[in-house]
Homo-oligomer: A and B are copies of this chain.
């Protein structure tokens, strides 16, 4: 064997490059072709390695991490099929603008011609869910390629950069450490854009700001509240947001709802819509006879700031242009918690328990789907917290993202709100929570059905479900037992069947460090 020692091979140069450029976490699910990279991770300080037992856990965790740390983690994935298992949560991350540096092991370059069983076209698999894909051609290039991947992942908004690492470029002689470009500054918006937005909000027609992305962080919201105070415009936010900062003392937004009829009704009278880090609202799905675009035909759209723009500076400039910089914001949420409710479990009651107990500085990861639709109101006056939604719409996001969020924001409590159907896609994340002793409290809303689909079947005009359709939309026969599933993964768990039980179990969970799961059966 004439390959270099692990001190100076390509894998070492890549790990050193990641660490030197501030990539501090690697979410991994390795295989044979990644063994030199694993060995390099083993020997080099500065990288926390977090094992996931399924690749969707790995990629979803990287998404959650980015949202809280505002910088990319790396992932380590095994060949094309391993990357395939991670695609759904890469999709979610891409739609959320979460930067990730994927390292995907590949067969040694000379081995590809053999068409061994695990041979695939990795670049083709990566491309649909990546913004940038490159295969290292030589071990000397690996560091430079890794630095390029980091540069890409840090572009605003964050991007998915996928580096394919053939085994021989990992074990061949390395090329030292490479430097990524400094994170790019967000683009300044033009004076024209500010002027256009100012006019849209002051021309006397019913107007609204629609906030997304970074425009729903605390400082930006405060500016939006001042602009609303000055102009009387409404303050809306997109349905799905990577990280909404909300709670007592922060400016409240009206969230565009998921159901098409409700969103059409909300947006019905808006004549001027100003986009800040957001896009024109569209229906999640098409429904026969209903529009895809949710704004009225006559609504005038003005873009103040796109995703890659400096949304905070744009709002600041707009507030200044409007003379709203120093006035008091409107729509500030008052500190106020609902009383603890009793009785049978209902979505409203669960929302009240959350509102009553949500701890200060909590991170809520919301994949509650139907059950959670009403949680906004009862939690609005809870102490300040972050609310992370599933932006790409592919369920199986929540448990992995909660895992990554906990690692990206140490010391904060993460509350994962999960539909039972959604949680099943990536339940293996529970084990990583246990291994890493993460402070994640998981609430599983066990209605034992894909409830959203039972509604959607009617919404698309497909009629009432018969025996076979009901069976395909139900999670019963047998019921899943989430207490056993959690304990099987090493996570403590309890089941509750009324609001009092939920309040007690949730209170206990919040008082106890580490992960736990509460199955809420209703």
Residues of A whose CB lies within 8 Å of any CB of B are 1-3, 6, 28, 30-33, 35-36, 38-39, 41-43, 49, 51, 53-54, 56, 79-82, 84-85, 87-88, 91-92, 95, 107-108, 110-111, 113-118, 120-121, 124-125, 127-129, 167-168, 171, 240, 279, 282-286, 288-289, 292-293, 391-394, 396, 421, 424-425, 427-428, 431, 434-435, 452-453, 456-457, 459-463, 465-469, 471-473, 475, 477-485, 487-490
A485 close to B489 (CB less than 8 A): yes
B42 in contact with A468 (CB, 8 Å) = yes
Q: How far is the CA of A484 from the CA of B88 in the complex (A)?
A: 27
User: 9 smallest A-B Cβ distances: which pairs?
Assistant: A478-B490, A84-B87, A484-B488, A81-B394, A108-B286, A485-B488, A111-B286, A42-B469, A39-B462
17 A-B Cβ contacts within 8 A?
A1-B288, A30-B453, A32-B460, A35-B457, A38-B469, A42-B465, A49-B472, A54-B425, A80-B128, A81-B88, A81-B392, A81-B393, A81-B394, A116-B393, A118-B284, A171-B462, A435-B477
With both beta carbons as reference points, the residue of chain B lying nearest to A31 in the complex is identified as B453
Query: Judging by beta carbons under 8 Å apart, are B168 and A53 in contact?
Result: no
Distance from A105 Cβ to chain B, minimum over Cβ atoms (Å): 10
Copies in the complex: 2
> Within the assembled complex, what's the spacing in Å between the Cα atoms of A113 and B279?
13
A53 contact set on B, CB distance < 8 A: 421, 424-425, 475
If A6-B463, A85-B88, A110-B292 touch, whether A128 touches B117 (CB-CB below 8 Å) is no
Interchain CA distance A38-B120 in the complex, whole Å = 32
B80, A56: Cβ atoms closer than 8 Å: no
A30 neighbours in B (Cβ, 8 Å) = 453, 472-473
Cβ B3 vs Cβ A288 within 8 A = yes
Give the contacting residue for A32; candidates B285, B421, B468, B487; CB below 8 A. B285
Q: A286–B115 Cα gap in the complex (Å)?
A: 12
Docked pose: A516 CA to B277 CA in angstroms: 52
Measured between beta carbons, the chain B residues less than 8 angstroms from A125 are 87, 125, 128
B479 touches A490 (CB 8 A): yes
A84 & B81 in contact (Cβ 8 Å cutoff): no
- Chain B nearest CB, measured from A425 CB (Å): 5
Complexed CA–CA distance, A85 and B85 (Å): 5
- A279 to B119 alpha-carbon distance, docked (Å): 14
In contact, A167 and B84 (Cβ under 8 angstroms): no
Q: Closest residue of chain B to A476, judged by CB? A: B435
Which B residues are CB-close (under 8 A) to A6? 462-463
- Kindly identify which residue among B116, B394, B487 contacts A484, using a CB–CB cutoff of 8 Å: B487
Q: Which of chain B's residues have a CB closer than 8 A to the CB of A289?
A: 1-3
Residues of B within 8 A of A79 (CB): 394
Taking CB as reference atom, which chain B residue is nearest A426? B54
Q: Are B283 and A111 in contact (CB under 8 A)?
A: yes
A285 touches B107 (CB 8 A): yes
- In Å, the complex CA distance between A293 and B393 comes to 44
The CA-CA distance from A460 to B172 in the complex, in Å, is 12
Whole-angstrom distance between the alpha carbons of A391 and B427 in the complex? 26
Residues from chain B with Cβ under 8 Å of A456 in the complex: 32, 35
Are A285's CB and B461's CB within 8 A? no
Measured CA separation A317–B466 after assembly (Å)? 54
A288 to B391 Cα, complex, angstroms: 43
Supposing A3-B461, A490-B480 touch, asked if A466 and B115 sit within 8 A by C-beta, the answer is no
Q: Select A283's contact among B56, B116, B427, B483, beta carbons within 8 Å.
A: B116
A85 touches B425 (CB 8 A): yes
Check if B84 sits within 8 Å of A91, measured CB to CB: yes
Question: Chain B contacts of A111 at CB under 8 A?
Answer: 282-283, 285-286, 292
